[in-house]
Amino acid sequence: MAMLILLVLLIIFAALGVPLAFAIGASCVTYITTNAPTFLGMLPQRVWNGAYSELMIAMPLFMLAGELMNTGGITQRIIDFCMEILRPVRGGLGEVNIVASMIFGGISGSSVADTSALGSILIPAMEKEGYPSDASAGITVASSTMGMIIPPSTPMIVYSMISGGSVGALFMAGAVPGILIGLTQLVLVYIISAKKGWHPQREPFNGKRCAHAILSGIPALIMPLFIIICVSFGICTASESAGVAVLYALLVGFFVYRELTWKAVWEALKKTFISSSSIMLIIGFTTIFTWVLTMQNVPQTVGAFFMSLNMPTWAIALLFCVMILLIGTFIDVSPAILLLTPILLPVMQSYGISTLQFGAMMITGLAIGLVTPPVGMCLNACNKINRMPIVDIFKGAAPYVVCNVIVLLAISLWAPLTTWLPTLLGYSLN
């Protein structure tokens, strides 16, 4: 009964428009005040310990690296490189959008940053080339979901903090699913473009122009490769690689492309501070929520319930996929990870599903929530660019989001898609 009151309070506060961090905090404080007032003095310490983690250093640094990329000319070089490579291919800018998202996701670790950075450049360009407005926006938001799946991934860092899994192993667990989403979306864009006649004029391959784009793009392309290699092979931690990424973005922006200014750096710092501080607050207050759940033995109760169902592993995996998709539709990524992981992970482990596989399932499933109303953070970011109604953007994205759903089902039913690469690199599965 007490836990039901806690959940009802959380829903009421959220429905009233209270920011999620404070809705979680207020509901937990109310619960503890009425049921365990002796623990009130421990709340500040719990909030502090929740956000006080070395792993959390990586999150704002990856965000800052993404902001510096946008203002320092790195993002534009990535797009130029993709345009020259894919210029002769049917689908043109649609294919460019997807490949650029895959590369950009290897730096920023954020799908919303992907939508904002690439959408502001590619959506107008695609519309100019004859793509329908809903298709231009839809391809942009659907492909941006790879930003939080392909390493490095900010949500993977949050999941690592809660689950205790290795950040490097989780990064690698998301690599294959992210690439599969990109490849399936590329094929779909090609098919739909051919059927509907989008981007019919394909310019012939120009070796000289392509060589120039590659040479100009090398400094930008080195960045994601460096991050992935350093974390994967244990050369440095995720936090250290994020710090190096920021330094690299500064050096390239100031001295190679010479487009970065100190004013732009200051603006990037302000945006990073606002974005990361809101996530830190959510993490801190959610720590209290998970603490209350643990005190009330909720994970054990939920686990016992699912074990009593005597369902096969594949059925449990599909059931949890549906749950993740539904919750991701109404709750943003980081809060959903913080709320679901302590409850669902023990159940999945009891069914033999590893921490890495479940992490990949959760991140891939919640990424779909970024492009589904009503919350849909990528939809909102795209709406700020082209002022198109969110529902219309979602309609344009729907065919490509199907690719995400197919990959989610595949990694849920076949573990090697998420565990093969980490195992190859010597990581433990739990």
What digits encode the pLDDT tens for the residues 1-17?
566 777 777 778 777 77
CA end-to-end span of the chain, whole Å? Answer: 34
Summarised one tens digit per residue, pLDDT across range 395-415 is 989 999 999 999 999 999 999
CA–CA dist 83, 100 (Å, integer):
9
The yes-or-no verdict on residue 205 having pLDDT over 80 is no
The yes-or-no verdict on residue 83 having pLDDT over 90 is no
What type of residue is 328?
G
Answer whether the bond into residue 124 is a cis peptide, omega within 30°: no
CA dihedral 290, 295, 296, 297 (to 10 degrees): 80
CA–CA dist 280, 284 (Å, integer):
6
Give me the numbers of helices (H) and strands (E) for the chain, helices first please: 20, 0
Nearest to 353 by CA among 315, 324, 390, 380: 315
CA–CA dist 241, 145 (Å, integer):
22
What band does 200 get if pLDDT is binned at 50, 70 and 90? Answer: low
Tokens of 307: 């074990």
CA–CA dist 49, 63 (Å, integer):
22
Summarised one tens digit per residue, pLDDT across range 253-281 is 888 888 888 998 999 898 888 878 877 88
Average pLDDT over residues 222-251: 82
Other Cβ atoms less than 10 A from the Cβ of 257: the count is 16
Residues 339 and 293: beta-carbon distance below 8 Å: no
How many angstroms separate the most distant Cα atoms in the chain?
Answer: 74
**pTM (2 decimals)?**
0.86
Residues 55 and 231: beta-carbon distance below 8 Å: no
What type of residue is 16?
L
Query: How does the average pLDDT of the chain come out, rounded?
Result: 83
Judged by average pLDDT, the poorest of 188-197, 226-235, 363-372 is 226-235
Average pLDDT over residues 181-204: 80
Which residues are CB-neighbours of 9 under 8 A, at least 6 positions away?
26, 27, 30, 31
